[in-house]
Amino acid sequence: MVTAASSAEIAIILIDARNGILPQTKRHSFIANLVGIKKIIVAVNKMDLINFEKDVFEQITDDYKKIVLSEVKFDEVSFIPVSALGGDNIIKNSPKTPWYSDKPLMSMLESINIDKTKKDIFSMPVQYVNRPNLNFRGFSGTISSGSLAVNDEIIVSSSLQAANVNEIYIADKNVESCNEGDAVTITLNKEIDISRGDILFNKSFKVEKSNAFLANLIWFNEEACFPNRSYILKSGNKQTGCEIIKIKNKININNYEKIAAGSLEMNDIAECELLLDNELCLLPYIENKTLGNYILIDKKSNLTVAAGTIKHDLRR
């Protein structure tokens, strides 16, 4: 759920009409908010098993507003009764719910307005140094924010060296500019030291690196998480050693209260302080999704044990 939500603009929160609001409903709503989703559709499913009763749907709607929306904020929330088995209110409004007059689910998805505002700051984690022959040296990656054009000046996060863009390729086409989300290869007007994991920024961007961050974290593993254990942190295309030096609090998923915790169990959501072996340029998640998310990998088993989002660095 975390993986899917991290790249989504809209979430559909599915509720079983027979069971109402469950801990999983609260957890999924909180995670959707945590990864920056601002618009959700609450679909009350299996309405056929409760005879499409309006009172039950309205009770679930009221419960969600009181329990979830009082603590977790979204810009836009829609409620819809559906029966996936019979296709009721999926593509067209069902005659079995004459009391429901809003759009069916698919029309609702197609008509929700997505904010297309792009960040002005260009950033691109380098995934691959492309050297097909001695005469070509390109840097490949997906643009995480902003736009780039030929002759723009960029700076490298690791060395702070600057250069101008000479060529931009999208697949095998030479283009004059590119935008957020484009997978590109760029060449520069001079040779500077760039390798996988480096980040290219606008020349005007003030690159600040740190090895300590306050972050949100979702623990995946069946084995409990304790402070001061060592993991591998991966963000973008960069990896480094990492310790969870402090669990500041974790979320009580039943009422969204922050409570003290000395360890984390599977599916716990917490706020932690991370200490990295090396300084990295990680940005707050609200500013840049690509440079603000991370996963933790167990050094022995190589399993992904946690994922999270950066809140801010902890420079003293």
Nearest to 102 by CA among 161, 42, 151: 42
Query: Residue 19 is encoded by which pair of tokens?
Result: 């069971």
Give, for all 316 residues of the chain, the pLDDT tens digit. Answer: 787 887 788 999 999 999 999 999 999 999 998 888 989 999 999 999 999 999 999 999 999 999 999 888 899 999 999 999 999 999 999 999 999 999 999 999 999 887 766 567 899 999 999 998 888 999 999 998 889 999 999 999 888 899 999 999 998 899 999 998 899 999 999 989 999 989 999 888 888 889 999 999 999 999 999 999 999 999 988 899 999 999 999 998 888 889 999 999 999 999 999 999 999 989 898 888 888 999 999 999 999 999 999 999 987 5
Beta bridge mates, 81: 44
pTM here? 0.82
Residue 119: what pLDDT?
64
What is the model's pLDDT at position 117?
A: 60
Q: What is the pLDDT of residue 316?
A: 53
Contact 198, 158 (CB under 8 A): yes
Count of other CB atoms within 10 angstroms of residue 178: 23
The whole-number pLDDT of residue 7 equals 79
Confidence (pLDDT) at 4 = 81
Structure tokens at 309: 């989002």
Give the DSSP letter string of 34-48: HTT--EEEEEEE-GG
> DSSP letters of the chain?
-HHHHTT-SEEEEEEETTT-S-HHHHHHHHHHHHTT--EEEEEEE-GGGGTT-HHHHHHHHHHHHHHTTTTS--SEEEEEE-BTTTTBTTSS--TT-TT--S--HHHHHHHSPP--PPPSS-EEE--EEEEEETTEEEEEEE--BSEEETT-EEEETTT--EEEEEEEEETTEEESEEETT-EEEEEESS-----TT-EEEETTS----EEEEEEEEEE--SSPB-TT-EEEEEETTEEEEEEEEEEEEEEETTTTEEE--SSB-TT-EEEEEEEEEEEE----TTT-TTTTEEEEE-TTT--EEEEEEEEEE---
